[in-house]
Chains A and B, each alone.
Chain A
């Protein structure tokens, strides 16, 4: 009954890898190079069925964003949602570590992957999520874990 093991960590989604350092991975079609974050039965681009795991660049450029002020109950608002071009792979994520307003967020800004904590579950396992934080415009932008609020 007694658990002596230290609480473990799990990623929010299986395409977030925590080790050796946090990064995203994609299923890459070995035939055409198309990348998918979810598992695919076959490639949507070429119908190939052979995939390898590919690491996604952890830095990128903000292609587009919105500032969500109205969302389902339980989702803290406002928050910034966007699409980040990580060396050609488009990634969906929240923009964090920056005030959620149009004065501080703009397309074309450089961003880096960062992790967030969703907190522990009933068994003490901590879930780790991710977002993207500005590289140049904020000095305290690091990939340190921040609390989800």
Chain B
């Protein structure tokens, strides 16, 4: 494939993640968008297609609301929603539009305001009704959360990590806590992270238990934030300036998968098969293997999730995730740094922004612009997100030249 057939990141930006009490979702989306346009040296007048996501405001039309603040040019807007993979879905949508020749520059943006939101699923259980009357596809006479397992995300992902331990052994409360300790240590170098405090193993293990083995600092942090990316076709990029071409980052693979039928997936989401499928497709498309990656940003919505994705993304042999972690590989000074941004556990997880913010993190290292946390000489990186339901986005990025 010729370089001009590829899709590239021309400009990309994320806001500080954290509490933004005086900015609404449109303000945050506008800040990220203007940052990405400035970074890419283009304006809204150059953008031919927009994909935008705000999961908690999915009915709002965030894309059009954004246009009203930064430029109403009349181009098509696709408002997308795909759970925690919403941001990656926005990028994927723009990639498809550019590959199809519908436009040569497009904008993907994701934003969320979640500071102080607490539990996001299973948090609004209805009261029992006065009579036991069957409702829904299970004919349930009362809410089942807490009565037939748990619907909370910390509980669901705790089980996903514990199931890995059941299959392959080697896991423990302490092991999962040490994964979280790594990411909190990484976050100290990321000024855009919501939380940048190092935490000791004791602090993490003795913090509030949410759903064993996930304590509070082992859960992704609800916060506010936005991220945006301006993508360009290789052909259009060739006509841009030397500086724009030098800083452009190649999207070597952009993949979105859903979960194929697996016998157990109706009772516990299977986040493994679709991630493995996405990774396999992405490596094939990009023509690179896991051994070629210089850094990985993966979806550590909980410490228990990070472990299984070492395996799903094939960063280690099948069943070898515990050994991979114990080897020191995923630490920032290891052979395969994972979540040097601090990950969702400390950087934060403003849902629809996450799948663009992790691409920003990788792209910033590939450009050599990551400052104190720069992974030296990074040439190839991978960004992964998963949204329950499920949807998985994997992007492989490569440095220009």
Contacts and interface: CB of A to CB of B under 8 A. Distances in A.
B263 A34 contact: yes
Contacts of A148: 147
Given A12-B142, A12-B144, A69 B212 contact: yes
Nearest to A129: B147
A107 interface: yes
Nearest to B146: A75
Interface string A112-149: 00001010011101010110000000000000000010
Contact of A107 (B141, B152, B166): B166
B240 interface: no
B137 interface: yes
Contacts of A108: 166
B268 A15 contact: no
A72 to B, nearest CB: 4
Contact of B140 (A12, A72, A107, A122): A12
Interface string A68-92: 1111111110010111000011111
B200 interface: no
Contact of A93 (B145, B148, B158, B165): B148
Contacts, number: 163
A22 B166 CA distance: 28
Interface in B258-289: 261, 263-264, 266-268
Contacts of B122: 71-72
A14 B135 CA distance: 10
Interface in A25-81: 34-39, 44-45, 63-76, 79, 81
Size category of the B interface is 35 or more
Nearest to B156: A66
A66 B212 contact: yes
Contacts of B213: 66, 102
Contacts of B154: 66, 68, 70
Nearest to A105: B212
A132 to B, nearest CB: 10
A7 to B, nearest CB: 11
Interface residues of A, number: 52
B208 A65 contact: no
B260 to A, nearest CB: 9
B132 interface: yes
B162 interface: yes
B148 A125 contact: no
Contact of B130 (A67, A72, A121, A129): A121
A15 B261 CA distance: 21
B211 A107 contact: no
B134 A14 contact: yes
Most buried by B among A12, A63, A79: A12
B140 A90 contact: no
B290 to A, nearest CB: 26
B328 interface: no
B119 interface: yes
B131 A93 contact: no
Interface of B: 119, 122-125, 127-132, 134, 137-142, 144-150, 152, 154-155, 158-160, 162-163, 165-166, 173, 208-214, 261, 263-264, 266-268
Q: Which 6 A-B pairs have the closest CB atoms?
A: A14-B139, A75-B146, A66-B158, A64-B163, A67-B212, A107-B166
5 contacts: A13-B141, A65-B162, A75-B125, A118-B132, A121-B131
